[in-house]
Every structure is written in structure tokens, then in C-alpha cells.
Amino acid sequence: MKRFKLIERKPVNIKDDILSGLTVALALVPEAVAFAFIAGVSPVVGLYGAFMMGLVTSIIGGRPGMISGATGATAIVMVSLVKTGTEIGGEGAGLQYLFATLLLAGLLQILAGIFRFGKFVRLIPHPVMLGFVNGLAIVIFMAQLEMFKVDGLWLQGSKLYTMTGLVALTMAILYFLPKITKKVPAALIAIVSVALLVIFTGIDTETVLSFVQAKGGNGIQAGLPVFNVPVIPFNLETLHLIAPYAAIIAAIGLIESLMTLNLIDELTNTHGNANKESIAQGTANIVNGFMGGMGGCAMIGQSIINIKSGGRGRLSGIVAALSLLFFILFGSAYIEMIPVAALVGLMFMVVVGTFAWSTFSVIDKIPLADALVILLVTILTVVFDLAIAVISGVIVSALVFAWENALRIRARKHIDEKGVKHYEIFGPLFFGSAQLFTSKFDVENDPDEIIIDFKESRVADHSGIEAINKLAQKYEQIGKKICLFHLSPDCRKLIDKAEKIIRVDIMEDPAYTVVVEGFEDYTV
């Protein structure tokens, strides 16, 4: 049986970029509106945010084909800020504090790109990535379930059946149409087809307009965004208020954006620039702060919709952003007619493509620690947020790695014909293995001359240097000589930087640099 492929690996194509950008723009509307309400701001602010984030990052970002906009991860942080700002300055002040926070968050993200912090995304282990995509798929799925509610109550009877049927129809078109033809984006055809069906048959179901009205808005039509400096007092008290929110928004935005970049890289077999993307994300948030948008970051759901529809180049993101602006200015009446069910069906297919189904086949074949990391990151992504989940996963993975490597250090011992005892060390010497390394030596019973051979080992940090130093002191106190052989150049440099806590004489060797104390007759 042929497997369903969500992503086709294909080159950049102008027609595909334009059509996929239009599809993404349709999908951006309800999410931007929903996230705006989560943040406690007007739907228009969310739409402006999606437009400006998408346009700026598409033009100067480090990952062509990736879509940015207003996101739930950042919106959850904003809601408390907007509420606090309103309490301080009255009605409308919360929004101004949000804009100021975006300026600072954007600056932090630009600095992260300038200082090349984006490269650290490569340190994220694969189990953390699996947990991230699985958790995000669950979050997207749960968010769509809210569309099956009215005033907090689940749909029932005919309304539920109609909604379910339209969702299923959308998903069926998305699944089967690519098997017939790939000349047109299945997502766009699905949305248009279901919308026309509802319009011409008069099916009673919720539309984008009714969704916005249910959230307290009047519609999505508005004018062009206008430049404006946030109207707040610029003093230390304000900085003290917005700085924590700015740091959190910057961190969450970068983590989600760079993780999405990494995922799209894998799906398309291409390579993005993490540092360039960090600068683009920061620039986009600063533009939002001055132009009245709610900011955001990369959107994994819309990014997958884009590449699934054939979007690979910068043009797809630019078209999506400009189309969204066109909808806001001129096409709001048509967008408001789109059934919510069509957009829910589209996002359900994104969930299917996002979730790493391979997790179930490998879960019993990978180390238990990796399986637990996948589960941990998945749960934390759903319960808390992406930043907490990823950071926790990286920390746990690092601790597991350190523990496992700490147990790998060992020593092979022998005494040569001159009565010198050799300790051949295997495995890295660092903070985790320092204590076990020290326990390998028999200081009291060893002969007067000792050689520690690091040919199969390396000193990784200051803890390793200190372990060697203390060991040398123990031998020296009882009048015994100690020699270090085969220290690599970086290890010698590390020891030299530590104020020469170990006195060494260096002898050159064709293959290795030898560090010797009191053993001028020994060569390797």
C-alpha cells in the first residue's frame, strides 16, 4: 500500500508559490482572529500582526517557505501584559504596553541573531524534536476542537453532524485530490469547494464572520496599518514591567521559529539560516510594535500548509502576507463567508502531517531515557508551553548524556620493565566522571613513578583539570612522581589557561604532544 505523503520534495516554482501563498492567507485569517482574542486585543491587531510578521520574515528571513504570524504561544504571554497595562493606564493602555514590549522583544531577538545564538538549535536532540512536533500537533488538534463549541457548549444534533460532515469532506479532498492531480493546491481547492457548497445550498454552519462576531468583533475589514510610537511613559518603571514579558516573548518566539525552521529543513531536504531568521523575527516584531500589530513568530501549521501546497520560495510567504492584507482591505466580505469547518478540516490534516507517527514504531527500540524525553516534551508542550518543554527536554537529555559518559571512564593498568606504573585512561574526563577517575588510582601502593596516558581520553573541563591537580598533589605529598602522556593540544591549552595548576614540560612527538614531568627519558 502506498503511504500518504504530506510533503513532496520539489524545487521552487512561481505558480506553486503564488497558489500556496493564497491558500495560507485563507488559513491565517481565523487563527489570527482567535489568537488576538486570546491576547485580549482586537481581531484587526491580530490580522495586522500576521501580515507584518509574514511579510518581513518572508523577505529577509533565513528559511524561504516558512510562514510567520500571530501565534498562540506568544498570545498566551501577552494576555497578562495587556491586562496589567490596562489596569495601570486605563482603557487602551494595555495595547500600548504590548507594542512597547514587542520593540524590546524584537531587539533581543536581533541581538540573538547578531551574536549567532541561532546555531544552538543544532544542540536540540532528536527525541526533543519528536516530542515538540507531537505536542504541537496535539495543541493544534485541541485548538480545533474549540470550533465545535458555541458559547462554551459542544455542538449537538444537526449542527454537529453538519460541522463533522463538512470537516470530513474537506479532509477527503485534501487526501484524494493529490492522487488525481498535483497541478493545483489541494488545500485551496478544498476550502473553495466547501465554501461554494455551503453558499449555494444554504447549509447552516458557522462561518468566519459568525466566528468573529461570537468573539465580540464586528468583522475583519480595516484600513492600512499606521506608524505610531507606543504612548506610554518611557522610564525605569515601565522597563521593569515590560522586560520580563519581552524576554519570554523573545525566547518563545525564537525557540518556536528555529524549531519550525529545523523541521521544515528536514521535510524539504534543504538548509535554512537560523541566525538570519532570528534577526528577521526580531525585525518583524519591531515593525509590529511601531505599526500596531500583535507580533508573533513562525507558525508550524501554516508553514506545513505552505510547503504541502508547493510553496518553497520567498514568494509564497510574500503572497500570503499581501493576500492577507488584500483580504483585510477589500476581500473581507468573501473571507467572512468561508465555513469554519473547511479551515478546521485543513488544520486536522496539518495535525496528521505534523505528528511524528514513527514514534510508535521506534518507542520500544530506542533507549528508555530517549522515550521518556519524547513523552516529557510532548506533555509539557500541551500543559505549559513550547519554551518550557524544549528547555526541559534539552536539560534532561544533557543530564542523561553526562551520566552515561561519566560511567564510561576506565583505566587499564600495567607496570613496565623499569618499574613504572602506567594508567591508560579511556573515556572523557569531565565533571561527571571526575570522581570515578580519581577512584581508579592506588596512591598509597603505587610505585614511585607513575605515567597517566590520555591517548584514548581527553580533559573536557575545569573539573577534569582539578581532578588531575588533586591527584598530582596526593602523589607529590608522599614523594612520588607523576607524568601525563598524550594530552591533546586543546587539553594542554585548557591546563595552561588554568594558571598552570599542573607544572608540565612539553616534549614533541610525531603523532602526539607529550606532557611530561620528571620523565625526560620516556618517549612514545
Q: Are 395 and 425 in contact (CB under 8 A)?
A: no
Spatial separation of the C-alpha atoms in residues 134 and 117, rounded to whole Å? 25
How many structural domains does the chain have? 2
pLDDT, position 496: 66
pLDDT, position 494: 67
- The conformational region for residue 149 under phi > 0 = left, psi -120 to 50 = alpha, else beta, is beta
Same domain, 190 and 270: yes
Same domain, 202 and 308: yes
**405 part of a folded domain:** no
**343 part of a folded domain:** yes
Spatial separation of the C-alpha atoms in residues 500 and 438, rounded to whole Å? 20
pLDDT, position 8: 57
Same domain, 392 and 446: no
Starting at the edge strand found earlier in the chain, the sheet holding 421-426 runs 410-415, 421-426, 449-456, 481-485, 514-516, 505-507
Spatial separation of the C-alpha atoms in residues 264 and 306, rounded to whole Å? 11
**2 part of a folded domain:** no
Task: Note the pLDDT tens digit of each residue in 213-261.
Answer: 876 677 777 889 999 999 999 899 999 999 999 998 998 899 889 988 9
Residue at a domain's end among 344, 363, 398: 398
Same domain, 134 and 56: yes
**339 part of a folded domain:** yes
Same domain, 440 and 462: yes
Task: Note the pLDDT tens digit of each residue in 381-422.
Answer: 888 877 788 889 999 998 998 888 888 889 999 998 889 999
At 47, list the grid cell. 490580522
Query: Which CATH number does the domain housing residue 463 bear?
Result: 3.30.750.24
Same domain, 265 and 414: no
Residue at a domain's end among 398, 419, 446: 398
Spatial separation of the C-alpha atoms in residues 515 and 202, rounded to whole Å? 86
Same domain, 416 and 371: no
Give how far Cα 50 sits from Cα of 35, 96, 129, 318, 403, Å.
10, 18, 25, 12, 44
Same domain, 351 and 467: no
pLDDT, position 92: 81
Same domain, 137 and 163: yes
**524 part of a folded domain:** no
**522 part of a folded domain:** no
Spatial separation of the C-alpha atoms in residues 436 and 293, rounded to whole Å? 56
Q: Which residues of the chain have pLDDT under 50?
A: 1-4, 6, 500-524
**331 part of a folded domain:** yes
Of 452, 168, 373, 298, residue with least CA distance to 381: 373
Q: Are 63 and 304 in contact (CB under 8 A)?
A: no
Residue at a domain's end among 353, 370, 398: 398
Query: Which residues are paired to 456 by β-bridges?
Result: 426
Same domain, 243 and 154: yes
pLDDT, position 281: 97
Same domain, 137 and 223: yes
**136 part of a folded domain:** yes
Task: Note the pLDDT tens digit of each residue in 46-90.
Answer: 999 999 999 999 999 999 999 999 987 788 789 889 989 988 888
At 513, list the grid cell. 604532544
Q: Which helix (H) or strand (E) holds 411?
A: strand 410-415
| Residue 237 belongs to domain spanning | 14-398
pLDDT, position 3: 41
Same domain, 474 and 332: no
